[in-house]
Structure 1
Amino acid sequence: MVLGKYQHAGLTQSEVKDFQGAQPHRQAMISAKITEIEQRRVDLRHATQLLEHALQCGAEDVVTCPEFRALSARR
């Protein structure tokens, strides 16, 4: 039951088992996972900005919209 919650949060079964490992290994794994999650958050924020603009953009083809292109180039 608990394993499913960790997996839903983006941790693999192997990573959850690593929580039981030696302290230095566990800390390195957790630090790496936090970095990975933070990068995903950045990527999701960027995707959200693009989609929000696309939703309100009046351009016939949103991909040709200068503002959309500028948002896309930021990543």
Structure 2
Amino acid sequence: MKSSDPHPWSVGEVAERFDLPTNVLRHWESVGLLKPARDSADRRRYGEDEIVRIAVIQRSKAAGMNLEQIGVLLDDSSRGRHEVLYAHLADLDRRMLEMQRSKEMTEHAVRCRAHDITTCPQFRAGVADVLARF
């Protein structure tokens, strides 16, 4: 295949480069996230735009978005696009706060001399907001 071909990669090549099973790429296509071109033998051919979309899907999934949310993200004509994205930003903020709290608790646990970490008042402070529900 010539390097000037706008759709140079097969489904197998793309799957291998992204370390994905080919059925994942086919599923993403079936739900409308990908639209690879087809060659004369009806084989999927992925160009640069599809490669970028796959990278966006992977990054978005790693950040906790589901496929429906990713579909909205990738659809510039979606009416609810901003609402979905603002909700995702709020979720990211909430999860980053939880991760920071967990990191602080873990760092304290590494330094703490208490045999049973749950008896340490400073360690317990890290879950005070959760305990306040009782």
Structure with bigger gyration radius: 2
The equivalent of 2:86 in structure 1 is 31
The equivalent of 1:56 in structure 2 is 111
Shift of 1:12: 1.7
Shift of 1:31: 0.4
What are the equivalent positions in structure 2 for 1:1-75 lying under 5 Å apart? 1-2=54-55, 3-19=57-73, 20=75, 21-22=78-79, 25-75=80-130
Structure 1 residue runs of 5 or longer lacking an equivalent are none
User: What TM-score do the two structures reach when normalised by structure 1?
Assistant: 0.84
CA distance in 2, matches of 1:5, 1:50: 27
Structure with the bigger percentage of strand: 2
- Cα displacement string for residues 26-64 of structure 1 (whole angstroms, at most 9, x for unaligned residues): 000000000000000000011011111011100111110
- SS of alignment partner, residue 123 of structure 2: helix
- Note the aligned Cα RMSD (angstroms): 1.4
- SS of alignment partner, residue 48 of structure 1: helix
CA distance in 2, matches of 1:66, 1:6: 38
Structure with the bigger percentage of helix: 1
User: What TM-score do the two structures reach when normalised by structure 2?
Assistant: 0.50
User: Percent identity between the aligned chains?
Assistant: 25
CA distance in 1, matches of 2:129, 2:63: 27
CA distance in 1, matches of 2:126, 2:58: 36
